[in-house]
A = this chain, B = another copy of it.
Amino acid sequence: MLRFLTAGESHGPGLTIIVEGIPADLPLLAEDIDRDLARRQVGFGRGGRMSIETDRVTFRGGVRLGRTIGSPIAMTLENRDFKNWEVPMSVSPVDLDDEAVRAQLEAKRITRLRPGHADYPGAVKYGLADVRNILERSSARETASRVAAGAIAKQLLRQFNVHVHSHVVEIGGVGAGESVRPALPTFEEWKDLFERVDQNDLRCHPDLYERLRSRVVEAAKGGYTLGGAVELAAYGEIPVGLGSHVHYDRRIDGLLAGAAMSVHTVKAVEVGIGTAAARETGADVQDEFINAAGEIARTSNHAGGIEGGMTNGQPVLLRAYLKPLPTMRKALRSIDLVSREPFEAHYERSDTCAVPAGGVVCEAMMAIVLAQELQRKLGGDSLGEMLRHAGRTHA
């Protein structure tokens, strides 16, 4: 079953990802990964650093002639900017007798705590006085690794006609409480929605675009950052019974929510109608069953495709809410970790809004959980064997 580890600091040599447990014979090209890496980099309102990072993955194992071979898959993503960081981010000790070297180190040393970041708890936890040792890994750069791993999960799901996608549904409060898609989209409607979403730089429904864009422009002018919300959907032929009601740690809503909440800046996760369910009456939030030409069907999907901790065959729907980026032009009060002196909080980058990128990361996490549960259900060591177990002969 898919498991993965990732490594790499934001200004270090690059990212490294190993994904173990993918079946053999899955078609897999670097382009399949790079497409999502590029989608993660899109985003109106993102600052300059993104352009440095045009991410391209290199396979170092587990893939041969365009197909997986059952072995662990290794991927690297180079940091093209590393040449400017070779001294302060050197893996080996540097010559501290060299004044120029010392100056470079000192220039990149950080002791001023940024509120809302890992800086303070990280420095205390790991007993490190240079906060750079923390922020290099806590940086959102890490999420590119997850997107790479998630792209492999998506490629596996796709063979079973399961698709995972997201769209931005609100930014800075704009869009909140509105509905931008059909209540029960058909497969074609989902597909169409997401094709259109991927055509704009806010990754939202075209009807929302102008209003969200104005909100971001306004914030950029005001020198502050904005958060927002994304809807995540898995649609297509969702198998009935991924996850399980039998043990608390097998419930797929818990697994999905945990995965989504682990994404940087996510502060709330809803399944289906989420918080609204808590305010409706029991009769209104359930999804009635009907007999549709002999098949069991539903008249709504308030549950977000999950009942009793299992997928019920309807699209799986989550919402993730992301707080504004904690780094910002307008300074915040903070203190110095070492001197305990107050100061105005450290300013590192200039993105106004990273919600579109956050949605792509959340997609990756969702795809990983779904792929794991699909593997648990189907077993199988090769794509062919998985398809046979699923009673399918092709995707």
Q: Copies per complex?
A: 4
Q: Which chain B residue shows the least CB distance to A334?
A: B289
Chain B CB within 10 A, most for which of A71, A222, A259, A380 = A71
- Asked if A257 is at the interface of the complex by the 8 Å CB criterion, the answer is yes
Docked pose: A312 CA to B5 CA in angstroms: 25
| Chain B residues, CB < 8 A from A74 | 7-8, 16
| Chain B residues, CB < 8 A from A275 | 229, 267-268, 275, 321
- Asked if A115 is at the interface of the complex by the 8 Å CB criterion, the answer is yes
Docked pose: A268 CA to B285 CA in angstroms: 14
Once A71-B246, A257-B269, A269-B261 are accepted as A-B contacts, the answer to whether A8 and B126 lie under 8 Å apart by CB is no
- In-complex Cβ contact of A128 among B224, B259, B277, B382 (8 A): B382
- Asked if A30 is at the interface of the complex by the 8 Å CB criterion, the answer is yes
- Asked if A231 is at the interface of the complex by the 8 Å CB criterion, the answer is no
- Asked if A50 is at the interface of the complex by the 8 Å CB criterion, the answer is no
| Chain B residues, CB < 8 A from A227 | 277-280, 282, 285
- In-complex Cβ contact of A308 among B117, B281, B313, B330 (8 A): B117
CB under 8 Å from chain B, chain A span 277-299: 277-283, 285-291, 294, 296, 299
Docked pose: A260 CA to B249 CA in angstroms: 11
A127 engages B25 (CB within 8 Å): yes
B288 engages A240 (CB within 8 Å): no
- In-complex Cβ contact of A137 among B14, B69, B170, B253 (8 A): B69
Docked pose: A74 CA to B222 CA in angstroms: 41
- Asked if A191 is at the interface of the complex by the 8 Å CB criterion, the answer is no
A324 engages B128 (CB within 8 Å): no
Once A71-B9, A274-B268 are accepted as A-B contacts, the answer to whether A381 and B377 lie under 8 Å apart by CB is yes
Docked pose: A133 CA to B176 CA in angstroms: 41
Once A16-B16, A308-B117, A379-B379 are accepted as A-B contacts, the answer to whether A267 and B277 lie under 8 Å apart by CB is yes
Once A71-B7, A74-B8, A146-B248 are accepted as A-B contacts, the answer to whether A115 and B377 lie under 8 Å apart by CB is no
- Asked if A38 is at the interface of the complex by the 8 Å CB criterion, the answer is no
**Interface residue total, chain A, C-beta cutoff 8 A:** 161
B72 engages A6 (CB within 8 Å): yes
B121 engages A308 (CB within 8 Å): yes
Docked pose: A381 CA to B134 CA in angstroms: 13
B381 engages A127 (CB within 8 Å): yes
B118 engages A73 (CB within 8 Å): no
Docked pose: A21 CA to B143 CA in angstroms: 19
| Chain B residues, CB < 8 A from A15 | 61
Chain B CB within 10 A, most for which of A4, A122, A124, A299 = A122
| Chain B residues, CB < 8 A from A262 | 248-249, 251, 253-254, 309
Docked pose: A309 CA to B70 CA in angstroms: 14
Q: How far is the CB of A87 from chain B (nearest CB, A)?
A: 9
Docked pose: A176 CA to B65 CA in angstroms: 47
Q: How far is the CB of A135 from chain B (nearest CB, A)?
A: 9
Q: How far is the CB of A383 from chain B (nearest CB, A)?
A: 9
Once A248-B262, A288-B334, A381-B126 are accepted as A-B contacts, the answer to whether A313 and B121 lie under 8 Å apart by CB is yes
A66-B91, A290-B342 are known contacts; what are 6 more A-B pairs with Cβ within 8 Å? A5-B18, A6-B18, A115-B287, A125-B241, A125-B244, A378-B389
Q: Could you list 15 examples of A-B contacts with CB < 8 Å?
A: A4-B5, A64-B90, A69-B128, A70-B122, A71-B246, A115-B289, A122-B308, A125-B381, A267-B271, A285-B323, A288-B334, A288-B345, A294-B340, A377-B379, A389-B389
- What are the nearest 8 A-B pairs in CB distance? A118-B308, A258-B258, A125-B241, A379-B379, A254-B262, A225-B282, A282-B324, A257-B261
